């Protein structure tokens, strides 16, 4: 760069006349695929509509839809603090709008429900019981509108927060199949 070019901040380049054409190089790699074109008009000729076929034979009568069971009711034996009773609820398809009600004549029992496995109670709580967690100090606990996401059933656990007597668990719902005490 000359002193003048440095002073004004511009570099001048002088170009000569173009040289002779060189030899042709080898073919390069193919370029990327272009965008997809628009759908055609489907302007081909369509044939005439065929004649209606003969009616087929009537099939055998299918089985009727399963009849929902319930409501279910379980009498609970008197329990001491910390005692637990578990139930497995099964439904026709995923459970919908299941209602669970726990009542005791005296004492305090808590109600929990979980979809994947039996509820695990620690310090009078179940951290992952998303379906139901009812820990009222009254004589009644309930959970309404229980709906499972992936399983055709769920688990219920009744825990004696304090000793209780004359407990009753009632379960009803739209598509209940069965409820069974599992311990």
How far, in Å, CA of 129 to CA of 126, rounded? 6
Question: What is the per-residue pLDDT for 5?
Answer: 58
Question: What is the per-residue pLDDT for 104?
Answer: 96
Residues 81-128: tens digit of each pLDDT: 999 999 999 999 999 999 999 999 999 999 999 999 999 999 889 999
Question: What is the per-residue pLDDT for 97?
Answer: 94
Question: What is the per-residue pLDDT for 156?
Answer: 97
Residues 6+ away with beta carbon under 8 Å from 29: none
Element (H, E) at 168: strand 167-172
The DSSP annotation for 19-56 comes to: -------------PPPPPPPP----SPPPPPPPPPPPP
Q: Which two tokens stand for residue 32?
A: 């990327």
Domains of the chain: 72-181 (2.60.120.380)
Question: What is the per-residue pLDDT for 173?
Answer: 93
Q: Give the three-class secondary structure for 67.
A: coil
Q: Give the three-class secondary structure for 87.
A: strand
Q: Which residues are bridge partners to 141 per DSSP?
A: 102
Question: What is the per-residue pLDDT for 100?
Answer: 97
How far, in Å, CA of 24 to CA of 160, rounded? 91
> Rounded mean pLDDT of the chain?
88
Radius of gyration of the chain (CA): 38
166 contacts 78 by C-beta, under 8 angstroms: yes
- Phi, psi for 55 (deg, rounded to 5): -70, 135
Residues of the chain with pLDDT under 70: 1-16
Question: What is the per-residue pLDDT for 14?
Answer: 60
| C-alpha torsion angle, residues 137, 159, 169, 94 (rounded to 10) | 110
163 contacts 79 by C-beta, under 8 angstroms: yes
The DSSP annotation for 97-114 comes to: SEEEEEE-SEEEEEEEEE
């Amino acid at each position: 760069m000359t002193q003048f070019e440095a002073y004004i901040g511009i570099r001048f380049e002088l170009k000569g006349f173009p040289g002779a054409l060189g030899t042709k190089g080898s073919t390069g790699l193919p370029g990327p695929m272009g965008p997809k074109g628009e759908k055609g008009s489907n302007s081909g000729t369509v044939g005439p509509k065929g004649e209606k076929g003969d009616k087929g034979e009537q099939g055998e009568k299918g089985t009727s839809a399963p009849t929902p069971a319930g409501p279910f009711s379980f009498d609970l034996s008197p329990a001491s603090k910390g005692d637990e009773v578990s139930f497995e609820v099964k439904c026709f398809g995923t459970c919908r709008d299941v209602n669970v009600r726990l009542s005791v004549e005296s004492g305090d029992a808590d109600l929990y429900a979980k979809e994947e496995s039996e509820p695990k109670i620690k310090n009078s709580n179940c951290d992952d019981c998303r379906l139901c967690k009812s820990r009222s100090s009254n004589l009644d606990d309930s959970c309404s509108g229980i709906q499972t996401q992936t399983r055709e059933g769920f688990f219920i656990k009744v825990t004696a927060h304090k000793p209780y007597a004359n407990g009753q668990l009632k379960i009803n719902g739209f598509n209940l199949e069965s409820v069974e005490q599992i311990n």
